[in-house]
């Protein structure tokens, strides 16, 4: 990780000088520009969460013999997985390279090898990390013969069985509720805020390029159009990640939330599949922010050639985070409630 974060990922030769871009330099460049929140978002996905995952695994290895409480760590472990975005950052490196290629000669940095290895290792780690078997290993639960109506499901550690005498999950000690409290309100709040943020995100400039003193503002869409003139496949990738995914995600979430309010009983399987699909594709929207962060650290030659971030980046990042949270907060079991006969149970 230290090598992949600090060594140059790509290098350019511009005006006889070699300029290199690393992940950390990109984040620092964003901080220097005063946009700490956007920098924090990038930092969270490519430095914060992978580091946290590694520390959690160390804690599990050390904590077990010392008899420490492993429950909070196991609970966090499951949530961390989808926030680790090395794979998306790697695609971001490729897109940034293609964008910069028009202005300068491009070379791969030493850090790229470290970064590709890191991405592969984390992919393997996430594939092999089975939180369920870890729960079973550290906190084995006796098998019980229960009637279906007695079985309760814990949405946090995915244990199904009876609650303990205090109404908690016997494995992770989180209080069991039939549905996540305030799930619908939280999901709506996050979704409505993200819809509001999507307007400035698409209308304001997301990147500003100074070329020989002339300033060129690019919105997400105009950036894709100018990318398409050189490389259509890459423009398609950026279009999918920055426009298609966020908008289709908002539309799907709106439809799902409305279907819960309407107590719609049709197409349950389709809707649950849509919710899963939305969870899986949502993280890819961060691509554009990664590209901007990397390009910024690469092309900063004052008035001659400079690339800076526009105000839309903050709104765009916020919208992406909020839609991910909206999916996270939506209790998928609410979709099934309308299907239940008689009194569909709502606890929101």
For residue 154, the minimal CB distance to Zn ion (Å) is 3
Is 70 a binder of Zn ion (CB under 5 A)?
no
For residue 157, the minimal CB distance to Zn ion (Å) is 3
Among 5, 135, 159, 188, binds Zn ion (CB under 5 A): 159
Q: Which is nearer to Zn ion, 161 or 205 (CB)?
A: 161
Q: Which is nearer to Zn ion, 95 or 154 (CB)?
A: 154
Is 154 a binder of Zn ion (CB under 5 A)?
yes
For residue 78, the minimal CB distance to Zn ion (Å) is 11
For residue 159, the minimal CB distance to Zn ion (Å) is 5
Q: Which among 26-34, 138-146, 159-167, 195-203 is the span making contact with Zn ion, rule CB under 5 A? A: 159-167
For residue 151, the minimal CB distance to Zn ion (Å) is 13
Q: Which among 168-176, 200-208, 223-231, 280-288 is the span making contact with Zn ion, rule CB under 5 A? A: 168-176
Q: Which among 3-11, 147-155, 185-193, 309-317 is the span making contact with Zn ion, rule CB under 5 A? A: 147-155
Q: Which among 23-31, 98-106, 171-179, 259-267 is the span making contact with Zn ion, rule CB under 5 A? A: 171-179
Q: Which is nearer to Zn ion, 159 or 315 (CB)?
A: 159
Q: Which is nearer to Zn ion, 154 or 296 (CB)?
A: 154
What secondary structure, in 3-state letters, does the chain show?
CHHHHHCCCEEEEECCEEEEECHHHHHHHHHHCCCHHHHHHHHHHHHHHHHHHHHHHHHHHHHHHHCCCCHHHHHHHHHHHHHCCHHHHHHHHHHHHHHHCCCCEEEECHHHHHHHHHHHHHHHHHHHCCHHHHHHHHCCCCCCCCCHHHCEECCCCCCEECCCCCCECCCCCCECCCCCCCHHHHHHHHHHHHHHHHHHHHHCCCEEEEECCEEEEECHHHHHHHHHCCCHHHHHHHHHHHHHHHHHHHHHHHHHHHHHHCCCCCCHHHHHHHHHHHHHHHHHHHHHHHHHHHHHHHCEECCCEEEEECCHHHHHHHHHHHHHHHHHHCCCHHHHHCCCCCCCCCCC
Binding site for Zn ion (CB under 5 A): 154, 156-157, 159, 169, 171-172
């Amino acid at each position: 990780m230290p090598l992949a974060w600090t060594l140059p990922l790509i290098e350019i030769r511009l005006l006889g000088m070699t300029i290199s871009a690393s992940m950390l330099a990109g984040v620092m460049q964003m901080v220097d520009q005063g946009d700490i929140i956007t920098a924090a978002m990038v930092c969270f996905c490519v430095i914060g969460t992978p580091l946290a995952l590694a520390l959690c695994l160390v804690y599990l290895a050390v904590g077990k013999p010392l008899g420490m409480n492993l429950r909070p760590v196991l609970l966090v472990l499951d949530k961390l997985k989808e926030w680790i975005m090395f794979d998306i950052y790697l695609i971001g490196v490729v897109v940034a390279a293609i964008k910069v290629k028009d202005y300068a000669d491009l070379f791969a940095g030493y850090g790229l090898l470290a970064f590709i290895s890191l991405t592969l290792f984390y992919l393997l780690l996430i594939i092999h990390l089975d939180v369920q078997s870890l729960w079973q290993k550290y906190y084995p639960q006796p098998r019980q013969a229960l009637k279906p109506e007695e079985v309760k499901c814990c949405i946090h550690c995915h244990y199904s069985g009876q609650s303990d005498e205090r109404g908690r999950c016997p494995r992770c000690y989180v209080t069991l509720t039939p549905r996540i409290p305030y799930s619908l309100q939280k999901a709506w709040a996050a979704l409505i805020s993200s819809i509001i943020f999507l307007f400035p995100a698409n209308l304001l400039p997301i990147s500003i390029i100074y070329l020989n003193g002339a300033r060129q503002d690019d919105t997400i869409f105009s950036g894709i159009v100018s990318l398409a003139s050189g490389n259509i496949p890459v423009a398609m990738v950026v279009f999918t990640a920055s426009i298609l995914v966020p908008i289709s995600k908002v539309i799907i979430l709106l439809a799902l939330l409305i279907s819960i309010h309407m107590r719609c009983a049709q197409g349950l399987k389709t809707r649950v599949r849509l919710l899963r699909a939305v969870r899986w594709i949502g993280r890819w929207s961060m691509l554009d922010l990664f590209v901007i962060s990397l390009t910024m650290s690469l092309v900063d030659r004052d008035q001659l050639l400079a690339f800076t971030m526009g105000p839309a980046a903050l709104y765009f990042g916020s919208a992406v985070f909020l839609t991910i949270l909206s999916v996270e907060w939506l209790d998928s079991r609410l979709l099934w409630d309308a299907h239940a006969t008689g009194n569909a149970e709502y606890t929101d």
